[in-house]
Each structure stands twice: as C-alpha cells, then as structure tokens.
Chain A
C-alpha cells in the first residue's frame, strides 16, 4: 500500500509539473501555430526540412532536456535577467538571451555546422523566443525572489491564505491561464490570440531579441512588485492579468516568425 501511495504521489507531481515550466507544452504549441502562419514559404520549407517535421511538434524539445542529467545545465537557459537599470546587458552563458543569440548565429552560419547541431539550434531558437516572452522567465538583478516564488491566489471568497490556492509564479503563467478555459485545444487558443491581438501583430514585429526582453522586463516588473512571496493575489487582479498573458503569447508568436524569416531569407 505504501508503494501505491508513493507511485501515486510521484505521478500526480509529474503530471502537475509537466506544464509548469515557462510556457509549458500548450503555450509553445500556440506560439508555434501562430508563428508558422507568419513564415514566408521559403522559411517554412527550410525550417520543416531541418526539423524533419513541423515547428509545433518540435517546440518543447528543449524542456525535455531539463530532466536529463547530462543536459540539466540547459535549465538556466529558459530564464533571463534584467539588470538594475532595466537593461538586458547580461553576457552570461547561462542566460536565455545569450543562448538565443548564440543559436541564432549557428543558424545564420548553418553551412559551417553539422546537421545535428543545426537541428538543435533551431529547436532551441523556437523554444527560447517563446520562453523569453513569458513573464515567469524574466528575473531582476535587484529582486532576489523574482526567479520563482510561491504565493496564494484568492478566488474572491477570502483573502486568508489557508482558504486560497497556493501556487508558484511559474505555474500561474505556464498553466493556470490555460486551465481556466477548460478543454481548449492549442488551435483554439491560437484562434483566440488572433482574435484579440491580431490588429497589433504588425506593431510587435519591430526590435531585436534584446529590446524585446527589455520590454518584457518593463511588462513583468510591476507584476512582481505587486505580488510578493507568500502574499495573496486577489481574484480580480489575477483575471485582469490575463490580458498580459495574451499579449505575451502574441508577441512571442510574431517575433519567432520575424527571427526565422530573417535567418532563412
């Protein structure tokens, strides 16, 4: 019986965290679906030839490396840090923006690299452009807890912790905003983003990965300052922040297409 309980606990934990990394599977699929629509025919052909499949089915490959001992070092790549002046100035190999830039360069000079490295680089770029637009992946040099933290979410009935849902900052952005809509497919979420953000897609195209990350820093900072570790987030605010979730998905999608179209032009 003890073993049954042990297996059950492990399984529940695994099922519950599977989507609790940055965007999670659904977020990356939504981003890939929308980005694919914005690829030039030439880029789409090149991407699918390298991947041996579509973007969507390759969009979570990098998350798969996190749980393997040999590649656990890639865990840090999914986050990026904003400095005290609000800039993306880091040159740390562990930082997501540095890895994104490095893998973009590999793709630009793909003729000089092995096929397997090019595939890995493309999968990494697809994933990291997404992740770097997730609020939960943005941390701040001067906010020690901003890597990830636990807080409580009220459903409106009570602001007492014991009556609220305990969750992590990661889980809010990677899972909760998707779960509240029930059995939505990734295609349905993509459609929603098109409907509510489609008129802004052109506007989101401008900039570079570093300016995009700095913009995400300006987006994420007030949110992290509003809700601190171990505090209770009120119901209204959590639902009002869904607009930010939608906006970030839209930006990630548009900008992934921008990056790939530029590489494969």
Chain B
C-alpha cells in the first residue's frame, strides 16, 4: 500500500512536469497529416525535419539573443468585453497574421527567414489555442491561480500546458492523431475559416469557461466527472483547432 501511494505521487509529479512540448508536438504532428503534398514538400525542404520536430523551437529560444522578442508572442489578451488587445504587436494572433502576410511572397524571401517564419507559425498557431494562453484582465493572474493534481500544487497555466499528456497519459503523437483527429472535411473547413484575429476572438469568448470549470485551489481529481470530461473535451478541441488551422495556413502559403 505504501509503495502504491509512492508510485502514484511520483507518477503524478512526472506527468505534471511534462510541459507544453508534448501538446505542441502532437498538434504539429496532426497538422502535418493534413498538409497538401506541395506544402509538405516545401516544409520538409526548408526545415529538413517534420513540423513536430520544431514545434517547441519558440520556447527553446525565447530567452536567447537574437530571439528575445518572441518571448512576448505566445499569448493574447482580451479585455473584459472580449475585445482583442494588440499589446503593441506582442500577441500571438498579431504575429501570425504578420507572418502570413510576409510569407505570401515567400519566393522572394531568403531561406533563413522562411525557416524562422515556419518555426514561429508551427508554435504560435498551436500556442494561441492553449486554454490558458488567452489572458483576461478580469480573471486572476496566473501566478496567483493554483490548482491541484493528485495533491500536487500546480499553476493554472502549467496545468493547461501539460493537459494533453496529463489527460491522456502515455499517448504518443500517433495516438493523438489516431484517437482524436477524426473530424470530417466539412467540420474542418468550418474551423479553418477566417484569420487569426477571428480565431482569437472565439478563444476569448470560449476560454472563460475554463476558469469556472477548474476554480482556484480546486483539486482536479476531485471535480465532478462531467467537469473532468469537459476539461478533456476542451483540451482536445483546442488541439484540433490548432492542428487544422496550422495546416490550413501552411497549405495556403505554399499552394501552387
């Protein structure tokens, strides 16, 4: 019994330590399954790797010159009425649209610009769909918002960053694709319509729910089953939105 408790504590610890890289890899992997042949060929040509390989590149380099400015591009803010706040360009949706515009003329760009732009798109289109990456002035700041997972304290932001692997223990990227990437073409077409601004407006409206779903100081495992089920639904929907929209953006850039 003592050993069982110890195992549970350790496993819970390790799971919560699996930060954003798992979700990013899974989203980018699923996106890649929806690339056109020409978009796939071009992405592989420039990256010399899959999308998933560089899915966390922006996190790896965010504190290092000459990339320090990208530290501010991972999230977006909305006001109390869900209006988007540009924040001087320091918002994921602003940068995504800037890069989309720049990449319309990718043939005139040098290779290193294309490569960096691809790496940023892969990360930011994923990031903007993380439930905790839309911040609200009328909600508690992340540093003050704690929840518990099997007794271990974790931050609200960290919980949602780690939610893909916490809520689907042991899944690989292929498992995510196999198990949740099941939307029809019609459903996908509906999701990918619009620009990053429009997508962020929807996030802004919808992601308020997660604050009610898992309140400050709540123990996740003690929540009613329907609330835990809803958390899984939100996590999966946001991952799929990120994946389908990333594929759409890249297909559009590299269409013949």
Contacts and interface: CB of A to CB of B under 8 A. Distances in A.
Contact of B26 (A179, A180, A183): A183
Interface stretch (A1-9, A66-74, A252-260): A1-9
Interface stretch (A42-50, A110-118, A165-173, A191-199): A191-199
Contacts of A184: 25, 52, 172-173
B13 to A, nearest CB: 7
A183 B28 CA distance: 12
Contacts of B49: 192, 195-196
B251 interface: no
Contact of B56 (A8, A182, A187): A182
Interface in A126-163: 155-157
A235 interface: yes
Contact of B22 (A8, A183, A187, A196): A183
A196 B18 contact: no
Interface size class of B (residues with CB under 8 A): 35 or more
B62 interface: yes
A182 B21 contact: yes
B76 interface: no
A185 interface: yes
A241 interface: no
A183 B10 contact: no
A4 B151 CA distance: 15
B18 to A, nearest CB: 7
Contacts of A234: 64
Contact of A185 (B23, B56, B173): B173
Given A182-B55, A185-B174, A195-B49, A239 B13 contact: no
Task: Classify the secondary structure of A's interface with B.
Answer: helix
B24 interface: yes
Contacts of B112: none
B72 interface: no
B50 A157 contact: no
A263 interface: no
Interface residues of A, number: 28
B146 interface: no
Contacts of B25: 181-184
A188 interface: yes
A182 B24 contact: yes
A196 B84 CA distance: 40
Interface in B137-173: 165, 171-173
B202 to A, nearest CB: 26
Interface in A54-107: none
Interface in B1-15: 2-3, 5-7, 9-10, 13-14
23 contacts: A4-B9, A7-B7, A8-B10, A11-B10, A156-B61, A156-B64, A181-B53, A181-B55, A181-B56, A182-B23, A182-B56, A182-B165, A183-B26, A183-B171, A183-B172, A184-B172, A185-B174, A188-B52, A192-B53, A195-B44, A195-B48, A196-B48, A239-B61
- The 6 A-B residue pairs with the shortest CB-CB distance, nearest first, are A156-B63, A182-B21, A7-B6, A156-B64, A182-B25, A182-B22
Given A4-B5, A184-B172, 20 more contacts: A15-B14, A157-B63, A181-B56, A182-B18, A182-B24, A182-B25, A183-B22, A183-B165, A185-B173, A185-B174, A188-B29, A188-B172, A192-B49, A195-B48, A195-B50, A235-B61, A235-B63, A236-B65, A239-B60, A239-B61
